[in-house]
Structures are given as C-alpha cells and as structure tokens.
Structure 1
Amino acid sequence: MTWADLLRAAVANTRRAGLRAGLTVLAVFIGALALTLTSGMGTGVNRYIDETVAAFGTPDTLYVQRSHPLVELSSGSGPRPWEPGSSRVQTGLGVSFEGLTPGDVALLEGLEHVASVEPMYSVTPSWLETPGGERFQLPLGIPVDVEGLRLVAGRAPDPGRDELSLPGSWVAGLGFASPQEAVGARVEVVMEDVAGRPRAFPATVSGVTQASLAGTALNPIPSASFNERLHAHQVSGGPQPVPESYLMATVSVPDLDRIGAVQDRLEDEGMVASTVEDKLGMFRAVINGIVWILNTSAVVALLAAGLGIVNTLLMSVQERTREIGLMKAVGMGGHKVFGLFSLEAVVIGFLGAVAGAAAGVLAGTAASDALAAGPLARLPGLSLFAFEGDRVLLIVAAVVGIAFLAGTLPAVRAARKDPIEALRHE
C-alpha cells in the first residue's frame, strides 16, 4: 500500500467517522480562526505604528528637553515677573517651566556624533479669531510636528511663511463647510506680551490634518517662522529682557549606533533625549502584549482540539481493532498502520486549519472595512486586521503539526497491536 493509498484511506476513514470527526474538525476550526484573527490584529496595528513612526520623524532624530520640567502658576491675574538669568520658558499667561538655555543648545551642538540642532520656542497664544470674528482658545503644537502630519486637504505649513495647519476636527467648529474651504483662509492669532498687551498676527491656513497615533494633529501647528514671530512678541514688553529659553530641541545623530551614547551623555547633563521609537514604543509593547494574551487563548483552544483528535482516533482504533488485525495479517507493517492513523489526524487538522484560516481572513477583512468606516474613521490608514500570506500559511502548518502530534498516541497504539489478538477482538 503506497502513501497515496494511505492518504486516500485516511480521507475515507475521516468521512466515515461522521459527526465525531466533524465536531473535532470544528474544534480545530475555532482554534485556527482565533489564532488567525489575533495574528492579523497584531500585524495590522504594528504596521500602522510603523507607518506612523515613519511619518512622525526619522530614526536619527532625538527630541531633547530638560529631564525635570518645573511648572509654576502665578497666583495673581497679571504676568509673572521674570528673574534675571532664569531659564524658565515664559508663556505670557503666568505659566513658566524649565526650558533649554542657549548654553544647553551650544552644548548640544558641540557633542560628538551630532550633525545638527534645531531649538524650538514655546508659544501660548491668547486666542484664535476666525474671519467671522469668533474667538477660540488656541493650544499650538510645535513646528517639528509637521513631519508627522497626515493631510486631508492642502499642505504642511511652509517654514518661511506665516501659516498654520488645522486639525480636521476643528473645521466645522470654526465655521468652514469642508477642509477644502478652510485651506487658504486667513485667521488671526492674538498674542499677548509680558505686559499683557495683545497683538494680532494674521496667518493662512495651509492645510487640514487628520488624527494619527502619534498625536501630532490634535492641535494647530504653526510654521517655524510664524512660531518665532509669536514667541518674539510673547517675551517682549517687559521691564527687562527675557532670557532666551527653548521648549525643546531636535538633534540629528546620523550614526544610529551612537544614539545611545548621546542619550547617556545628555542624561549626565540633566537632559532627557527620546527617539520616535521611544515615544511610540509603548504602544507597540501594549499591542504585542494583548496579541500574545489572545494568541495564548487561541493556543489553548487548539490544545483542546488536539485532545479531541486524540479521543476521536482512540475510539477509532478501538472500533477498528479487527480491521487493524486484518491489515497486519495481509502484510501491512506497523509503520504503515502508524502512518494511516497519523494521516487521519493530519486530515482532521488540515481541514480545520484551512477552513479556520480562510474564515479568519474573510472575517478580519470585513471587520477592518466596517471599523475603518465607523469607530476608527478618525484614524485613517489603520486596518485593525492585516494578513500576510506567509503568516497565514505558518498558522496552518502549526495547526497541522499540533494535529499530527495529537494523533501520535492513537497511531502508536494501533501500530503495536498484535494481529492475532486483534482478529479475535469482538
């Protein structure tokens, strides 16, 4: 009897087992379905994180701040007076915190392996005024965030022009009928100086952004030159010059292998430097943890299905004892008997695995489309489930392997049966 004959016999025996084999296949199906869905979820979310990281910044960029920011609120209604030589960043609204000094920036520029340094000012406008005269609070992002913008209309702010981008969620609230209508509109950003004197700075809406996992589109983002103009007015008007101070600085380290050394050096100087991966790595860790937990549940289901295979084949061995004796009596070796029952286990596992994986891909794809048009519409580009052919095939192979191992015990028992004793079995 050839192995092809054994395979045909295994398929026929599986069909002959009827409901018992069908229920076992169903158990395998459920495990394979769960494993395919959890794997697809991990792939989809991690792919989105990778795309967000790529858009948010380059791997060779460090974001440097003081490691222990100090936030202070003034008790009165007026602006908080500056202290000579202070490195606090003055917001103009009675709020200050520890920032980077020009000396810190010079230190950054002099570090080995650092190619460039770009300091960023902290700006806190009083309000935003629309063309219709309505006023809104205006928490501004920082110019470096333009690297992570996902635009639904227009373009990112030009570094040399007085421009800013608006989040998509702001469009209707500011009185615009659509993102396209908002692009090109003129708004006024009102900034108070240290003495509380307001001044309006006209700006053009360059583009409308959509939300991302990096959180770079939650607030309007000004261009670099516009941000500097606002900051210059913010720190003016006081009885004495305001010491130069920066919210943060972006540092380029072309040699990725040296980033750790630069971070250690900055830590010694009382600064903290993080990469894009540091900022978003926690999302990846949480998602991977959830996926591993779900995968564990799927594997438990597969192990339960494996016990079902053991039970099904043990009962089959018991019921077919005389048949096994007859096969051995006509010259079939123990290894062929072992192969027959192992192939029956493989057939059960293969049917359940292929059906479960196919159902998982179809269900996951449909769920991704539905979620993208509904609850996840504010995160365009996120496919909650994404499937890669090699991973799906690996799942099928793993499930079939579990089925084979589950069928080993019954197959060994069948292979070891004495033909004479088997033929006497009632």
Structure 2
Amino acid sequence: MRAVDVAGTALSNTMRSKMRTFLTVIAIVIGAFTLTLTSGIGAGINRYVDDMVAGFGETDEMYVMPGADQQAMGGGQAGPQEYDAGEAGGPSGSYGQSMLSEEDIESISELDGVTAVDPIVFVSPEYLEISDGTQYALDGLGVPADAPAMELAAGETPDPEADEITVPRSWLTAFDEGAEDAEEADPQAAIGETVDVGVRDMAQEVQTVEATVVGVSEEDLAGIGSSPMPSQALHEELHELQSSGAQVEQEESYAQAVIQVEDLAAQEDELKSELADEGLMGMTLDDMLGVVRGIINTVTWVLSGFALIALLAASFGIVNTLLMSVQERTREIGLMKALGMSRGRVFGLFSMEAVMIGVMGSVIGVGLGAGVGLAANAALVSGPLSNVAGLTLFALAPGALIAIIALILVIAFLAGTLPAARAAQKNPIDALRYE
C-alpha cells in the first residue's frame, strides 16, 4: 500500500465517527491557535523593538554615563565612610545626579578604538512662540541624538548645522487654525514656519533663539517624537544661553556621551572594562533594549506554555479516540491481518490516522491564529493605537508557523503510538472471533 493510499484510507477512517473526531480536532485547534498568536505577538513586538534600535544609531556607537559606585552607595561597607572632596566624583546635576566632566570626556576620547565623542547636554526651555505671538509651554526638548529614530508625518529631520526644529503631531492645531483636532490638521501647515524658543539663563532672564520648523513627528512607544526635536546646532545654542548669565563661570558637565568605536563588536568587553576603571559605564543599544526583549520573550514563553498544556490535553483526546476506534474495528483488523497485512502496516495505518487528526487541527488552528492576529493588528494599529508610530503587534514568522505544525504532528504521532501498537499486536484469529 502506497503512502498516498495509506493517507487516504486514514483520512476516511477518521471520518467514520465525525463528532468524536471533530471534538478531538477542536482541542488541537485551540492549542495551535494559542501558539500562533503568542509567537506572532512576540515576533511583532520584537520586530518593532528592532526597528527602533535600527533608527537610534549605528552599530558602532556606545552610550557612556557616570558609573554606579557601589562603595559610595554603601554596598559591602561595615559603616559610614568619611567624606573626601578629592574622591567625591565629578560634577552633579539636578537632585545630585552625577554628571560627566570635561576630564571624563577627555579620558573617554583617549581610549583605544574610540574615534569620536559626542557629549550630550539637556536643555530646559520655557516656551515655543509661533508667528502670531502665541507662546506654548515646553516641558522639554528631544535629544538630537534620537532624531534618526523619529517617525515623521511630514517634512524631514533637522539639519545638524542649522537652527531647525520639528514639532509633534499633537501641536498641529497651533499651526492649522481651521483644524478641530491634531488628526484633522494638515502636517504641511507647520512646515517652513518660523518659531522662537525661549530659555531662562542663570540670571533668570529669558533668552530666545529663532528656528525653522522642518518636520512633524509621530510619537512612538519610546516617547521619541512626543516633544519638539531641535537640531544639534539649535540644541547647543540653547544650552549656551541656559548656562550664561552667571557671575561665576560654571564648570561644563554632561549627562552622558555617545562614542563611536572603530570595531565595537571586537572591543566591546575590553572598552566596558576600561570605562569601569575610569568610574564610568558603557552601554550599547542592545544592552539598553536587552531587558525589554527578555521580558517580551518571557511573556511569550509563559503564554506558549499554556498552549502546550492544551496540546497535551488534546493528545489524550487522540489516544482516547483511536483506542475506541481500535476497539470498534477489532474484526476489521483481524480481517486485514488474515489477508496478509503485516503488523508494521497496521501500526502505520493507525499512526497515520493520528497524524491526519494532527494535520487538520494544526492547519485550522494556525490559519485561524494568523488570520485573527493580522486582523487584530490592523484594527488596533489603525484604531486605538494609531498614535504610536511604526507599531507592530503581530507579525507572521513562516519558520515559527512551520515549527508549530511540525510540533503538533509529532505530538499527534506519539499520542497515536499506543492505540496503533495495540491494533498491530492483535491476534487475527481472536480478532475475527470478536463480537
């Protein structure tokens, strides 16, 4: 009997008791459906995270910030330590937060493999004034280093060497007077507008810088694009004004620095060690987002565990279905063996019936899961979550779908081995006498 004939016979045999087969298939469908959804959600969110990583910068970049001094925090000490001004560390920012000094920047630039150092400062502007004189309060500005990761509704990212700025989509009502809300507003209405950014200096005097709006940004899950994004030149100019006006010259300090490394993959561990020796901490984009990926993968595996439990329950359904089938077809089995069918072929026939149940359940479950996932993703991304730029909640991974189907077929085959073995071991004479 050819493999095609065995498969056809097995399929027709499973349809003898349609209700029993249907209920068994439904149990497999539930497991396959859940596995498809969870793997798709994990793939979709990880793809979104990868897109964010790709937009943040090049793979040869590392972020450097003040390191966490465990002894300074009291870790492993028997008691309080005397204060030593010479070892107290660099300058402090708001609320005593450690900052990078000019000496730190110089030390970083001298490390082997470092080709460029870009210190990052934070600016706290007061307002943004549009052409009609209306002033809008600013909680903060974006960091120019994040500009490549920004999703744009219109226009372009600011030229690093020009006084340019982007505004978030939520600000469009200020530029398009005829629009009732930001979704109805025309993004092009803001492009080319001239605005003034006001910042308070050390003497508490407000200074302004004129800038041109060149883009309209969409907010993503990381918050990039939710605030006006200045160019590097505008950002530095605002920082200089913010730091001016003091009677005593202030020491320059930085929240962090972005460094470029000649061969980051080869030097990453050594560079981090050298930074730690300087009391600093280096982190790549993968380091920063590794925790996020870990959480996503953990949740995906937990949900997949529930799907596997459903498949385990379904495997007992397959065992029960085939055992009942063997019992009902005892005389048929005896006749097949009396006509010369070997134990191996009997075993193969009943194993194939289990596999056919697995095929039906897996194909229906995976297809249903993929359809529901794609439909839900389209509905959410274009509906309640439309304000999150570039969001992907569900993505099809062909390799994962094939693996799910293969896993279910293996489970179905293993579940069918017991009934198949029982059928193969039946004595043909006893089977023919069975009532």
User: Match for 1:265: what amino acid?
Assistant: E
Shift of 1:126: 2.1
Pairing partner for 2:325 from 273, 294, 316: 316
Say whether the 8 Å CA contact 1:142–1:222 is kept in structure 2. Answer: yes
- What is residue 11 of structure 1 aligned with on the other side? 11
| Structure 1 gap ranges (5+) | 71-84
Say whether the 8 Å CA contact 2:24–2:317 is kept in structure 1. Answer: yes
Name the SS for the 1:195 alignment partner: coil
Q: Which moved more, 1:125-134 or 1:353-362?
A: 125-134
For the residues of structure 2 that align with 1:338 and 1:385, how far apart are their CA atoms?
A: 41
Distance 1:86 1:399, change over 3 A: closer
Say whether the 8 Å CA contact 2:65–2:282 is kept in structure 1. Answer: yes
- What is residue 158 of structure 1 aligned with on the other side? 159
Say whether the 8 Å CA contact 2:29–2:362 is kept in structure 1. Answer: yes
For the residues of structure 2 that align with 1:259 and 1:218, how far apart are their CA atoms?
A: 32
- What is residue 233 of structure 1 aligned with on the other side? 241
- What is residue 181 of structure 1 aligned with on the other side? 189
> Could you give the per-residue CA deviations for residues 249-289 of structure 1, whole angstroms, max 9, x where no partner exists?
11011311211221222122222221112222222111111
User: Residue 137 in 1 paired to residue 150 in 2?
Assistant: no
Distance 1:385 1:86, change over 3 A: closer
Say whether the 8 Å CA contact 1:87–1:244 is kept in structure 2. Answer: no
- Give me the TM-score of the superposition, normalised by structure 2: 0.89
Q: Which moved more, 1:136-145 or 1:155-164?
A: 136-145
Shift of 1:128: 2.0
User: Match for 1:156: what amino acid?
Assistant: T
Taking the TM superposition and a 5 Å limit, the aligned residue runs for 1:78-157 are 88=91, 97-132=97-132, 133-157=134-158
Name the SS for the 1:379 alignment partner: coil
- Give me the TM-score of the superposition, normalised by structure 1: 0.91
For the residues of structure 1 that align with 2:5 and 2:306, how far apart are their CA atoms?
A: 37
- What is residue 252 of structure 2 aligned with on the other side? 244
User: Match for 2:377: what amino acid?
Assistant: S
For the residues of structure 1 that align with 2:145 and 2:96, how far apart are their CA atoms?
A: 21
Shift of 1:215: 2.8
For the residues of structure 2 that align with 1:289 and 1:378, how far apart are their CA atoms?
A: 27
User: Residue 294 in 1 paired to residue 303 in 2?
Assistant: yes
Distance 1:8 1:138, change over 3 A: closer
For the residues of structure 1 that align with 2:26 and 2:423, how far apart are their CA atoms?
A: 25
Taking the TM superposition and a 5 Å limit, the aligned residue runs for 1:38-57 are 38-57=38-57
User: Residue 304 in 1 paired to residue 305 in 2?
Assistant: no
Say whether the 8 Å CA contact 1:59–1:277 is kept in structure 2. Answer: no
Say whether the 8 Å CA contact 2:334–2:432 is kept in structure 1. Answer: yes
For the residues of structure 2 that align with 1:236 and 1:199, how far apart are their CA atoms?
A: 10
Name the SS for the 1:267 alignment partner: helix
- What is residue 279 of structure 1 aligned with on the other side? 288
User: Match for 2:303: what amino acid?
Assistant: L
For the residues of structure 2 that align with 1:275 and 1:10, how far apart are their CA atoms?
A: 56
Name the SS for the 1:209 alignment partner: strand
User: Match for 2:145: what amino acid?
Assistant: V
> Could you give the per-residue CA deviations for residues 51-104 of structure 1, whole angstroms, max 9, x where no partner exists?
11101122221111213599xxxxxxxxxxxxxx9954668xxx7743211111
Distance 1:97 1:203, change over 3 A: farther
Taking the TM superposition and a 5 Å limit, the aligned residue runs for 1:202-221 are 202-221=210-229
Say whether the 8 Å CA contact 2:151–2:390 is kept in structure 1. Answer: no
For the residues of structure 2 that align with 1:145 and 1:59, how far apart are their CA atoms?
A: 14
Shift of 1:174: 6.6
Say whether the 8 Å CA contact 2:56–2:145 is kept in structure 1. Answer: no
User: Residue 167 in 1 paired to residue 176 in 2?
Assistant: no
For the residues of structure 2 that align with 1:236 and 1:418, how far apart are their CA atoms?
A: 99
Pairing partner for 2:368 from 359, 365, 387: 359
- What is residue 337 of structure 2 aligned with on the other side? 328
User: Match for 1:50: what amino acid?
Assistant: D
User: Residue 407 in 1 paired to residue 422 in 2?
Assistant: no
> Could you give the per-residue CA deviations for residues 202-225 of structure 1, whole angstroms, max 9, x where no partner exists?
111121111223332232221111
For the residues of structure 1 that align with 2:113 and 2:141, how far apart are their CA atoms?
A: 32
- What is residue 377 of structure 1 aligned with on the other side? 386
- What is residue 22 of structure 1 aligned with on the other side? 22
Say whether the 8 Å CA contact 1:211–1:217 is kept in structure 2. Answer: yes
> Could you give the per-residue CA deviations for residues 150-194 of structure 1, whole angstroms, max 9, x where no partner exists?
111111111111111222223336766432211221211111211
User: Match for 1:190: what amino acid?
Assistant: G
Shift of 1:46: 0.9
- What is residue 77 of structure 1 aligned with on the other side? none
Distance 1:336 1:90, change over 3 A: closer
For the residues of structure 2 that align with 1:314 and 1:423, how far apart are their CA atoms?
A: 18
For the residues of structure 1 that align with 2:293 and 2:366, how far apart are their CA atoms?
A: 24
Distance 1:172 1:67, change over 3 A: farther
User: Match for 2:186: what amino acid?
Assistant: S
Say whether the 8 Å CA contact 2:358–2:409 is kept in structure 1. Answer: yes
Shift of 1:109: 0.6
Pairing partner for 1:196 from 204, 220, 236: 204
Say whether the 8 Å CA contact 1:123–1:227 is kept in structure 2. Answer: yes
Q: Equivalent pairs: percent with the same residue?
A: 45
Say whether the 8 Å CA contact 1:14–1:348 is kept in structure 2. Answer: yes
Number of residue pairs matched by the alignment: 409
- What is residue 78 of structure 2 aligned with on the other side? none
RMSD (CA atoms): 2.1
Say whether the 8 Å CA contact 1:66–1:272 is kept in structure 2. Answer: yes
Name the SS for the 1:171 alignment partner: helix
For the residues of structure 2 that align with 1:3 and 1:206, how far apart are their CA atoms?
A: 66
Distance 1:2 1:125, change over 3 A: closer
Name the SS for the 1:117 alignment partner: strand
Distance 1:328 1:171, change over 3 A: same
- What is residue 224 of structure 1 aligned with on the other side? 232
Say whether the 8 Å CA contact 1:187–1:204 is kept in structure 2. Answer: yes
Name the SS for the 1:187 alignment partner: strand
